[in-house]
Structure 1
Amino acid sequence: MNKSDNKITVIIPNYNNQKLLANLLESLKQVTLPHDIIIVDNASSDNSTTYIKTNFPEITLIENKTNTGFAHAVNQAIKIATTDYVLLLNNDTIVTESAFKNMFDLISTDSSIFSVTSKMIQKHNPNLIDDTGDEYSIMGWTKKRGFNHSVSEFTQSGEVFGACAGAALYRRLVFLEIGYFDENFESYVEDVDISIRARLYGYTSYYCADAIIYHYGSATSGSKYNSFKVRISARNNIYLLYKNLSLWMKIVNFIFIVMGIVIKYLYFYRKGYGQDYIGGVCEGFRTRKQLDKIEGVSFKNYLKLELLLIKNTFKYLS
C-alpha cells in the first residue's frame, strides 16, 4: 500500500529517552494497519534525533530548538498530517500488533466519535492496568480510569469521558472544528481539556478494550509526583474550569470545586507538595484570562456535560 493510501498518522512527541523510543519504534514494525509516522523532538539532549535519522529515515522528523511541551509538539504534527486519523503515542509506550486496527475499527463505526482510547497496561507490572480513559467530576478532579486494576477487568469497550492522549486515536478533521490541543496547558490534562471541548461540540470518546498498549509511565518527568508535575497539573485544572464551564455551571458547582481544591491540598501537603499545589492553583487563577473561553455552545450540551460530571463524582465516591 502506498503511503498516500494510509488512514492513520502516528504522532510521537519525544524528549530524550532514546532507548525507550527505540523500543516503541521496533514495536511499530509489527503493526498490521498501514500508517505514517511523525516524531516531534523537543530539543532532546541525548542522541534521539541521530538515532531516528540513521535507523528510520522514512519517518518525518520535526526538530524543535526548545522543549515546547506536549500540546505544542502534537499540534505541530497534527497540522501537517494528511490522513483521516491521527494516533498519539507517548515515547515510553509499546504497541501490540492489532491495537491500531482495533481502535480504527471502533472509531469508524460512528462519525460522532472524536477519539478512541486504548487499554494501557503497566509495562513494569503487566498484571495491572495503567489507563483506560479519563474521567472528570464536578469537584474539578481528573482521574485515570482503571488505574491499578487487574488486567482481567475493563474487558468491554464503551463510551468514556475522554481519551488519554498517551495512546489514543483521534478523528483529525474534528480538530479543525473544535480547535487543537490548548498550548497554554503545555503538558498534563490537555487531553481532558480537548475531551471536554469535543463533548460541548457534540462529539464522544470511546474505550477500546482490545487495543492493548504497554506504558512504562513517568519516563519523561521522572516520577509519579514531583514539584513540576504537581504545580502544572494544579494550574491546568484551574484552566479546565475557567475555559470550559459556563457561568451557571461554575455557580452550581462552586462549593464542590472549593471542596475539591481543599481536599487536594491536604493530600499533597501530606506528600510534601502542599506549596507546589497551592502555587499552581494561584498561578491558574492569576493567568487564566490568557485562555480562550468556549463560546457558542448550546445549553443542552452544557447540561449534558453537567449531568455527566455529577455521575462521575459518584464514581469517585464509590
Structure 2
Amino acid sequence: MKSDVSIIIPNYNGEKYIGNCLDSLMGQSFEARGTMEIIVVDDCSGDHSVAIIKDYQQVKLIENPVNSGFARSVNQGIRASNGSYCLLLNNDVVVDENFVKKLYNHINANPRVFSVSSKMIRYFEREKLDDAGDFYNILGWAYKRGDGAKRSRYDKPTAIFSTCAGAGIYRRSILDEIGLFDEAFFAYMEDVDLSYRGKIFGYLNHYEPGALCYHIGSATTADGEKYSPFKVNISARNNIYVAYKNMPFMQLLLNSPFLMMGFSIKYLLFRKRGYGKDYRAGIKEGLKTLKKIEKIPVQSKNLGHYVLIEVQLILNLFRFVGNKLRK
C-alpha cells in the first residue's frame, strides 16, 4: 500500500536517542487523515540501537554491514520507501504531535515546492531556536537561520535557500527528476547541495514554523559537541564540492575571490578554536578530489534561475550579518 509520507531515519550508535525519537512519531495527528511509514537505516551501530528499534513493530529496519554515511543511508531509505513525500529525521530529534501534518499540509499545497524545513528548537534550551531553515552565501558559507535566537521570532512561513535534512520533507516526484543526495559528500552539506540543485531547476524550498521539533545536535559524531576534527574536515571539503558542483564555470570564476575570502576567514576562525589543520586538510582534500564530483549540466532553460541564485547568494551574506547582529 502506497503511503502519503515516508519517514526515513538514519541511525548510527543512537541508543540514547532513537527510542525517544520513535516514541514521538507514534500517535501523530496526521494518521487521522493520511498514511505514513517509518524506515530506520542503521549504519552498523556498535551499541544497542538495533535491539531498541526492533521493539517497534511498525518500523521497517534496514541494517547495513558498514557505516556508509548519512547521504547513502538516506538514499537507501528513500529507495526502499513508497511515500509521495519523504520526511527525513535525525535520530536525536523529538517531534511535536502535529509535526508530520504541518509539513505535509505545507508541501502538498504547492507543486512548485520541493522541500519544507521545520522549526527546530534546541532540546536543552527550549526558548531558543536551533534551525529555521538554512542559507548559503557568496562566501561559500552555509548557516542555520535563527540559530540561538528566541524561538518566537521565526513564526512566519517563508522561502529559504535550503531545507535542513535533519527534520525536513521532500517531494518524491522532484527527487525522481533531479536526483537524490550526492553520496560523495558522506555527511554534512549534502542537504544544501540538494536544495541548491532544486533551485537550479526552478523549484522552491520553504520553512514551516508550525512543524515543531526538538534537536539535541551532533549526537552521532561528537558526543554533543558543536565542533569536532571530523566535522570540521568533512564540512570544509564539502564546501568546495557545493560551489564547484552547482556553479557554472563563469559564475564560479566571478565568485572565486569571495569564495577564497570566505575560506580564508573560516580557516582563521577554526585555527583560533584549535581546528585549523582539520579545516585546511578538508579544503585540500576537496580540491584534490573534485574529479569525482559530477557538475550539474547547464541548461538554457535554467539560465534565469542561475541569475536569481547569484542575487540570493549576495543577499544571504547580508542576512548572515543580520543574524549575527540580532543575537
Q: Which residue pairs with 1:277 in the alignment?
A: 279
Alpha-carbon separation, structure 1, partners of 2:249 and 2:2: 45
- Are 1:49 and 2:47 an aligned pair? no
Matches within 5 A, 1:39-188: 39-53=40-54, 55-188=55-188
Tell me the secondary structure at the aligned position of residue 191 of structure 2.
helix
Q: Which residue pairs with 1:8 in the alignment?
A: 5
Q: Which residue pairs with 1:245 in the alignment?
A: 247
Alpha-carbon separation, structure 2, partners of 1:95 and 1:5: 23
Alpha-carbon separation, structure 2, partners of 1:203 and 1:79: 22
Q: Which residue pairs with 2:304 in the alignment?
A: 300
Answer whether contact 1:134 1:164 (CA < 8 A) is retained.
yes
- Are 1:33 and 2:30 an aligned pair? yes
Listed one character per residue, the Cα deviations across residues 266-289 of structure 1 (whole Å, up to 9, x for unaligned) are 000100010100000000000011
Displacement of 1:304: 1.2
Alpha-carbon separation, structure 1, partners of 2:2 and 2:240: 42
* Runs of 4+ off more than 3 Å: none
Alpha-carbon separation, structure 2, partners of 1:246 and 1:313: 20
Q: Which residue pairs with 2:270 in the alignment?
A: 268
Tell me the secondary structure at the aligned position of residue 253 of structure 1.
helix
Displacement of 1:186: 0.3
Answer whether contact 2:248 2:298 (CA < 8 A) is retained.
no
Alpha-carbon separation, structure 2, partners of 1:80 and 1:220: 23
Tell me the secondary structure at the aligned position of residue 61 of structure 2.
strand
Answer whether contact 2:92 2:216 (CA < 8 A) is retained.
yes
State the TM-score, normalizing by the size of structure 1: 0.97
Q: Which runs of 5+ in 2 are unaligned?
A: 323-327
Tell me the secondary structure at the aligned position of residue 33 of structure 1.
helix
Listed one character per residue, the Cα deviations across residues 114-141 of structure 1 (whole Å, up to 9, x for unaligned) are 0000000000110100001110001100
Alpha-carbon separation, structure 2, partners of 1:47 and 1:264: 37
Alpha-carbon separation, structure 2, partners of 1:255 and 1:103: 38
Listed one character per residue, the Cα deviations across residues 67-114 of structure 1 (whole Å, up to 9, x for unaligned) are 100000000011121110010000000010111111111111110100
Over the matched positions of the two proteins, sequence identity in percent amounts to 44
State the TM-score, normalizing by the size of structure 2: 0.94
Answer whether contact 1:30 1:96 (CA < 8 A) is retained.
no
Listed one character per residue, the Cα deviations across residues 24-72 of structure 1 (whole Å, up to 9, x for unaligned) are 111111311131000000000111112222x112311110011100000
Displacement of 1:20: 0.6
Displacement of 1:5: 5.4
Listed one character per residue, the Cα deviations across residues 6-30 of structure 1 (whole Å, up to 9, x for unaligned) are 3001000000121310001111113
Answer whether contact 1:117 1:207 (CA < 8 A) is retained.
yes
Alpha-carbon separation, structure 2, partners of 1:124 and 1:30: 24
Answer whether contact 1:113 1:204 (CA < 8 A) is retained.
yes
Listed one character per residue, the Cα deviations across residues 225-256 of structure 1 (whole Å, up to 9, x for unaligned) are 11000000000000001110011111211111
Listed one character per residue, the Cα deviations across residues 172-206 of structure 1 (whole Å, up to 9, x for unaligned) are 12111101100000000100000000000111100
Displacement of 1:296: 3.5
Q: Which residue pairs with 1:315 in the alignment?
A: 319
Letter in 2 for 1:126: R
Q: Which residue pairs with 2:325 in the alignment?
A: none
Alpha-carbon separation, structure 1, partners of 2:173 and 2:80: 12
Q: Which residue pairs with 1:226 in the alignment?
A: 228
- Equivalenced residue count is 314
Answer whether contact 2:3 2:82 (CA < 8 A) is retained.
no
Answer whether contact 2:118 2:207 (CA < 8 A) is retained.
yes
Alpha-carbon separation, structure 1, partners of 2:2 and 2:294: 36
